[in-house]
């Protein structure tokens, strides 16, 4: 287990470094900037703003400042580079004459100030918006698992029947239709034709139901197909036939013996699905005006808010990698025959 986790951590460092580097230079290569607008700023004002956020620095220097291996925010650090031919991990003196660490930026969990939201740092925005997206994601995942597993089991127990055909058609439709199309239909149905739920906002359970349903429906369709496939394979296994031959009740055979093996494909899907719910919520959050991380990510891309876009990208990368690692470890609990790498 320890060797497995150590190996995963090494690949995590490589993955996050690659994503961060590629994202940083891609964003800065796009034309336009966070302070461009319809009204042209005075050149002196624009220069002062860029100097305030270090956008007048060369890209390599902005990158090192943002990532945080070296603090380049004052002339003393630059002088250390010029005189010593490299960066010192310590400044010559701090505010009270004591040495201070030059580390900063992402390495210390500081994503910097937002370029578009004045008086807010990226950490402040993520701290406020992430719980909202997480709550929406948990609600959507609960709905997706409950509906998907139930539909998959019902379909697998009666293969070729009318129920099986209906559920497969419904699952195929759920997979084919994007969540924003489903959201549009449900808004028309439950907001305008049958006014049961509010169309936008956040704060009550009524506000959560419609976006949670729209976000989870696509994933419920995938889970239903995976559950059906896994259950059909498990129900044909020798130990299931043996359980039936011993006279066990069909319900007991399905719930106690077949379900555990039939859910293996679903478990492998839950890692990327959970991360996909968080990242895919950006469209749903915009449709229903939910102040979550997804909405801020879209605004950051539109406004060229470099630090906020980088912060959300890094956050989503960490979530995807962590959840996939947890899923791999959960595999061994469901099926003892499966061993982790290097065990």
Measured distance CA(240)–CA(265) in Å, rounded: 18
Measured distance CA(315)–CA(212) in Å, rounded: 21
Greater confidence, 32 or 17?
A: 17
pLDDT in tens, 96-130: 444 333 445 677 777 878 877 777 888 888 888 88
Q: Which of 53-57, 165-169, 338-342 has the highest mean pLDDT?
A: 165-169
What's the rounded mean pLDDT across residues 181-189? 87
- List C-alpha distances in Å: 259 to 40, 195, 255, 300, 332: 63, 39, 5, 43, 16
Measured distance CA(293)–CA(298) in Å, rounded: 9
pLDDT in tens, 198-235: 887 787 888 888 888 888 888 899 999 998 888 888 88
Domain parsing of the chain, residue ranges? 122-334
- DSSP letters along 237-267, please? SHHHHHHHHTT--HHHIIIIIIHHHHTHHHH
If we measure between CA atoms, which residue out of 108, 134, 133, 132 comes closest to residue 121? 108
pLDDT in tens, 57-74: 777 777 777 776 655 554
Is pLDDT of 75 > 70?
no
Name the CATH superfamily, with its identifier, for domain 122-334.
Answer: MetI-like (1.10.3720.10)
Supply the mean pLDDT for the chain: 77
Q: Is the dihedral of CA 19, 24, 30, 35 positive or negative?
A: positive
C-alpha 47: how far from its chain's center? 36
Q: Is the dihedral of CA 74, 79, 81, 84 positive or negative?
A: negative
Measured distance CA(191)–CA(95) in Å, rounded: 58
Measured distance CA(119)–CA(142) in Å, rounded: 36
pTM of the model: 0.71
What's the rounded mean pLDDT across residues 140-167? 89
pLDDT in tens, 224-264: 999 888 888 888 887 778 887 877 787 787 777 777 778 88
Secondary structure element (H or E) that encloses residue 105, with its range? none
Is pLDDT of 324 > 60?
yes
Measured distance CA(181)–CA(225) in Å, rounded: 21
Residue 187 C-beta-side C-alpha neighbours within 13 Å: 15
Least confident of 56-65, 113-122, 157-166, 273-282: 273-282
Is pLDDT of 2 > 70?
yes
Is pLDDT of 142 > 70?
yes
Is pLDDT of 95 > 80?
no
What pLDDT does residue 234 have? 83
What pLDDT does residue 39 have? 62
If we measure between CA atoms, which residue out of 308, 278, 282, 279 comes closest to residue 125? 308
């Amino acid at each position: 287990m320890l060797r497995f986790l150590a190996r995963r951590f090494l690949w995590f460092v490589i993955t996050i470094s690659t994503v961060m580097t590629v994202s940083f230079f891609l964003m800065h290569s796009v034309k336009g900037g966070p302070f461009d607008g319809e009204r042209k700023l005075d050149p002196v004002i624009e220069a002062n703003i860029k100097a305030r956020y270090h956008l007048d620095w060369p890209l390599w220097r902005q990158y090192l400042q943002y990532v945080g291996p070296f603090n380049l925010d004052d002339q003393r650090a630059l002088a250390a580079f010029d005189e010593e031919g490299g960066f010192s991990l310590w400044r010559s003196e701090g505010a009270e004459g004591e040495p201070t660490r030059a580390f900063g930026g992402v390495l210390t969990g500081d994503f910097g100030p937002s370029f578009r939201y004045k008086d807010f740092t990226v950490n402040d925005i993520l701290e406020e918006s992430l719980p909202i997206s997480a709550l929406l994601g948990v609600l959507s995942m609960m709905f997706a698992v409950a509906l998907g597993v139930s539909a998959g089991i019902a379909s697998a127990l009666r293969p070729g029947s009318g129920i099986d055909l209906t559920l497969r058609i419904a699952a195929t439709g759920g997979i084919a239709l994007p969540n924003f199309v489903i959201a549009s239909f449900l808004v028309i149905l439950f907001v305008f034709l049958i006014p049961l739920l509010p169309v936008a906002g956040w704060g009550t359970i009524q506000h959560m139901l419609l976006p949670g349903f729209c976000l989870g429906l696509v994933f419920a369709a995938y889970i239903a197909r995976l559950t059906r496939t896994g259950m059909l394979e498990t129900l044909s296994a020798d130990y299931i036939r043996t359980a039936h031959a011993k006279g066990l009740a069909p319900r007991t055979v399905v719930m106690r013996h077949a379900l555990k093996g039939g859910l293996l494909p679903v478990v492998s899907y839950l890692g990327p699905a959970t991360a996909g719910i968080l990242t895919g919520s950006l469209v749903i959050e915009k449709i229903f005006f939910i102040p979550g991380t997804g909405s801020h990510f879209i605004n950051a891309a539109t406004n060229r808010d470099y630090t906020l876009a980088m912060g959300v990208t890094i956050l989503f990368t960490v979530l995807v990698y962590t959840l996939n690692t947890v899923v791999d470890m959960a595999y061994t609990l469901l099926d003892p025959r499966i061993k982790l790498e290097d065990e």
